[in-house]
Every structure is written in C-alpha cells, then in structure tokens.
Amino acid sequence: MVDNGPSVPRRQLGRSGAVWRKSSRSSNQGACVEVATNLSGVVGVRDSKDRQGPVLAVELSSWTAFVEFVKRH
C-alpha cells in the first residue's frame, strides 16, 4: 500500500527515481527506516528491512516540521 496523498502521482514514488538513505545514527539492529528526500514535494519513508514493500509519502512541509520537532526534543 502506498499513501500518495491527494496530489502525488504514484509513479513519483517508484523505486527507480528515489534515492534512499538511512540515518548515520542507525544501528545494525534492523529496526530502521529509510527516507528519500529527492522527490518533488514529498519525502518517501520505507522500512529498511522491506525495501520492496510499502512506501509512505509525507508532504515535504510536514516532514520538515517533524524533523525540527525531533531535533528540539
């Protein structure tokens, strides 16, 4: 299942154009997510253990607010 949101075409979240990365603070425990920040207007989020699995699309403004909140707390 891919959450495209109201204006994000499904093809935009395809595996071919996304550049995925894990946090440098991730451990090798296998409980990580990867993010793709090179997509237009959205950030893709997926489970690093299931790279062919579902992708969550988060609007860029919401992702930015989330990251800023986490940095402050």
Domain boundaries, the chain: 1-12+32-73
pLDDT score recorded for residue 60: 95
pLDDT score recorded for residue 23: 79
Q: How distant, in Å, are the alpha carbons of 24, 40, 43 from that of 60?
A: 21, 8, 6
Euclidean distance between CA atoms 12 and 69, whole angstroms: 27
Short-list 31, 40, 48, 52, CA closest to 4: 40
Residues 33/47, Cβ–Cβ less than 8 Å: yes
In the predicted model, residues of the chain with pLDDT beneath 70 are 1-16
Reported pTM: 0.73
Euclidean distance between CA atoms 5 and 58, whole angstroms: 8
